[in-house]
Every structure is written in structure tokens, then in C-alpha cells.
Amino acid sequence: MMRGPVRHAPLVTQVADQFRELITSGRWAIGQKIPGEHELAAELNVSRATVREALRGLSITGLLEPRIGDGTYVRATNEITGVLVRDDLSTLDHVLDARGGLEAVSARLAAQQATPTALHELAVSLEARTRAHDSGDLIAYAKADSAFHRAVIHASGNPVLVRLHTAVAELMDQSIEQTSVLPEDPEVGNAHARLLRAIQDRDPDGAASAAYELIALVKSTAPAPSEVRFP
């Protein structure tokens, strides 16, 4: 059987793919100003026009944000998050509301069908969150909190919910970072414990209610949530 000719990707696409890899790998971090067109063109041995077109494409998808008179900054590490934040429409309130819906559905399913392994991961992640809080380590606390909420999604056993969360995990994690304070309001910690207990007790209604209650508490204690935008 004959094969058609191998077609090489256009140079602009190849350059854009290299830039995308720098973003997704974290070598170009969110919020970082990337090198200028001239420097990038010299490094890759391509024209500035090629670099400019590659950067324009990544800006359209929301991965990069050009700022007139300043430079180009990394805005997101995946296209889905990039589209969500591209037009500066996503406030902290919006993200927390979305989290509430996603986590409540996941918590309900987790209470019905979480495996012993998933229940163990939930308990371990909540313990890690408590330890980080008590030690006063804000960074570790935010990471542990993200791990707990991610464990709730995975405990649902629903691959579509898991993929949805993965697609927007960047926004979810940012919402946790922006609302994390030490010491936390005791009611926020209690709400996490109630959520875990409801899942362990196989109480779907209680788990969904606890997930919504937790987000409501976070919104009520967050600093000026409507004023925070992403990224």
C-alpha cells in the first residue's frame, strides 16, 4: 500500500509548538514576561515575522497576553483555561461558583461509590492540610487543600468529571491560593471535615450539601472576591 508524502508542519507551527512546550512545562511560568521577539528569533534562527505569528497564535488561545509597551506574559498553561481567562471575565466569585457545582456533584457520587483507596486518599490529604495549617506553612497548606479537593473529584469515579477538573485545575488551584489565609476561619476547617465524614458515611445528600456549604464559607471569608480576576 502506497503512502502519501510526509508533510512537515509549517515553520510557524513548529515554533509555536516549542513555545507551548516551554509554557506547559513551566519553564515559562504563569505571570512571567517572556523574551522579546528579537531574542527569540535569534535563539531559534528564524525570522521575527515567524516568531511574531507564533506568539500571536498563542495569544489568541489565551496562553499568552501581549501588553502594549511592556511585552508578552504567560497567562495560562492550557488552551481551555486560556479561553476562560482571555477576556478578563472570570472573577473569583465565578470560579468559586463553578467549583461548588463541580465538587458537589463529585461529592455526591463519591459518597455512593468511592473505593477504599479513594477514601484513604481523602483522609490522608485532609490530614496533610491540617498539619500544614498547624505548622503555619501557607504554601503547603494551599497545596494540601488543592490535593483534598482534587481527591473529592477523583473519588467520584466519573472520568468525565475528572477530565473537566483537570482542564480547569489551574483556575481551581488559583482560587484556593487566593483564598488561603492562616489561621483559617475554624468553620472552614470544620466544613472540610464534614465533607469528608459525609462521604465516608455514604451520605450523598449530606456530601453535596457539605460541598456547597464549604464554598459558601470560603466566599464569605475571602477578601473582596468580586475584585479578584484571573489569572
Q: Which residue has the higher pLDDT, 148 or 67?
A: 148
Q: Which cell is 185 given? A: 476561619
| Residue 1 placed within a domain | no
pLDDT at 8: 61
Angle at 160 between CA 157 and CA 165, to 5 degrees: 90
Q: What is the mean pLDDT of the chain?
A: 86
Q: pLDDT category, 62, cuts 50, 70, 90?
A: confident
Question: Based on the domain organization, do 33 and 111 belong to the same domain?
Answer: no
* Between 89 and 65, the higher pLDDT residue: 65
Highest mean pLDDT among 109-113, 168-172, 221-225: 109-113
Whether pLDDT at 226 is above 50: no
Q: Is 196 a domain residue?
A: yes
Grid coordinates of 1: 500500500
Query: Is the same domain home to 109 and 189?
Result: yes
In a domain, 2, yes or no: no
Q: Is residue 83 part of a domain?
A: no
Classify burial at 2, counting beta carbons within 10 Å of its beta carbon; exposed 0-12, middle 13-18, buried 19 or more.
exposed
Shared-domain flag, residues 148 and 184: yes
The answer on 148 and 35 residing in a single domain is: no
What CATH number is associated with residue 35?
A: 1.10.10.10
Q: Which of 180, 175, 216 is nearest to 81 (CA)?
A: 175
Going by pLDDT thresholds of 50, 70 and 90, the confidence category of residue 5 is very low
Residue at which a domain ends, from 39, 60, 78? 78
3-state secondary structure of 57: helix
Q: Are residues 73 and 142 in the same domain?
A: no
Count of domains for the chain: 2
**Cis (ω within 30 of 0) for the bond into 204?**
no
Residues 193-207: b if buried by 16+ CB within 10 A, e if exposed: ebbbebbeeebbebb
The CATH number for 102's domain is 1.20.120.530
Range of the domain at 159: 88-227
* Sequence letter at residue 122: L
Per-residue pLDDT tens digits for 172-198: 888 898 899 899 999 999 999 999 999
5 within a domain of the structure (yes/no): no
* pLDDT tens-place string over residues 92-144: 888 888 899 999 999 999 999 999 999 999 999 999 999 999 999 999 999 99
Task: State whether 138 and 176 are in the same domain.
Answer: yes
- Among the ranges given (3-7, 61-65, 124-128), the one the predictor scored with the smallest mean pLDDT: 3-7
Looking at the fold, whether 221 and 188 belong to one and the same domain comes out as: yes
Cell 512537515 -> residue: 8
Same domain, 152 and 55: no
Domain end residue (candidates: 39, 58, 78): 78
